Structure 1
Amino acid sequence: MHGGGMRIGEAAHRAGVTVKAVRYYESLGLITPARLANGYRDYGEGDVRLLREIKTLSLLGIPVERTRPFLDCLTAGSAHADDCPASLAGYREVIDELTARIDGLTARRAALAAQLREAAYRNSAARPPDDAGETMHDYSQLPPGLPVPEDDGAADHLPGLKLPHIELGDTTGGTVVLDALGTGRTVLYIYPLAGRPDTDLPEGWNAIPGARGCTPETCGFRDHHQELTDAGAARVFGLSSQDGDYQREFADRLGLPFPILSDPDRRLADALDLPTFRAGSLTLFKRLTLIVRDGEIEHAFYPIFPPDQHARQVLTWLRENPLPAG
């Protein structure tokens, strides 16, 4: 390349690389600037173009040492560094190497995911499908720093309303008719979306106030189920908009002693004007719990936080508000 009156610092600056990088490229013979009479390197526009090309190819994942065919293509007068057959061959070689690396990493990832899936379900009555997702999570614990939901008054209208005539499938394979639950009190806790170990939650889930915590909440109702019954709850149900198969896996995995209802069309939200929220493409119930007595909503818990302590809150309310004798 002919000189152009540039010192190494200016050439590096114009090409967007470091002086150290320029010296390294020269040591590999990729850049050969002219020499002045005093021995100083003299860089020209052609050198800057080569430096820029090396940087571009490096960002694509092509090692510096393998950029020579591209640089030779430019030096030969081509308008683009990949106009020459040798450059195209260079692309193919790197693509083939990346493909081999991806295949190897994918196999390792699948093996690790299978081991994690096996460990996550080892003590569960439910088994994941063979093609279960590879990302596994523990949703039984609440992470620190979750945002606290505020009371927006969206449940103030519920006490005194009758439950509508809606038939919902449950995790036992049966059907529950909401306006025919029977006499006595029913605890109906409504939650947005329960995670499972092999499935990712919606993006940004932890940042949505009141969203995270459906599994710990459900574990609380499971662990206090007998106490809730002793305190006057004739029946306990969970409810969300997830489909029946998802709900059954959830109930089996947690070993629930009560059914979970599936309302994928959120008919109960429409009928009672229950609060909902958006998470990505999903519309979900906000977390709330209804105490239903003889078909009528007696009390509504909303908002609920922290969800892992909510079953105790319901238990305390039942004990402090016993049904009249007889």
Structure 2
Amino acid sequence: MRLRARLAKTTAGLLASLTLAAGLSGCITVHGEEAVVPAATEGEARAALDRYVEISNVAKRDYDAEQNRTIESGGLGDIDFAGITARAEVYPDGAEDFEPLAVSDTRFHIPQQMGWPKFFVADTATNQGRNRWLMFFTRAGIDEEWRLNYLASMPAAEMPEFAEDEDGFLDDIPAGEGGASEGYALAPRDLSAAYSVYLQSGEGPFADGPYTSDTRTARDQANSDPASFTEYRDEPAEEAEYGPLAMRTADGDAFVMFTSLHDQRQTVAEGQEIPVNELTAALMEGEARTSLTLEMVGIQAALVPAGQGQIQVISQMKDAVAITGE
């Protein structure tokens, strides 16, 4: 079993429940399994965001990876679980000069959905830099708490304008198996696989940019030294917890959050050393005598054009979730 898969299965059971009621006189309460209902009320979305901020500030201050697992999931949860675990090893007393997260000027984008999982988006300013954050909260059932599944950070001027349905709710695009895919350069559910193929071969409908052509160039340059060679493997993220989330923009394109998996194995010539910092060492299994393998998770935001055209990958968060030395 892959080490990142083991990390993904450490999530504890979640607490509490919310009930969504039909707004029609005489209707029974519905939970969203077979009825199209708002994924959340704005009050519930606000409460979920407040809960995230409160618990995140404690978990990241104290380097408590298990507590952080109660508020994050998917690739983001894996990345932070590994990072917090490593920091707890290196800094057992917690984070010095910790600056708690604060959010402001928050706008909620809530779709109407049938079945599970459901999601909503918080578009917010923070005290963690000038960029705005798009925070994607998901839950897989009525008895679960909302957890942050995707996060994208970008300047306010580059933030997409999302389309709304006739009722004023976010116009989401079903992105799972069997979801709508007609009319786009690529179906949202196929993005992870296509991106993996592109990184390996350069083939695919992706525009040049820092997370596409620049990544391929950097890989080529990394292997210009004969004393060191790095192999790269890219794979689609196929587990349900890594599923994409998609919504329409005001101009008819698709804004998609998706996850991908990346391994890189560096091997050095005899007599050469592999530099290993303290955080890498804290997460590493084995000893990096001749090789170092990083298992990485990437979460990306992409704009997929309606009709034909090139896909723009506009945001990425990528980091190691497991490290092996040999």
Larger Rg: 1
More helix by share: 1
More strand by share: 2
TM-score computed with the length of structure 2 as normaliser: 0.20
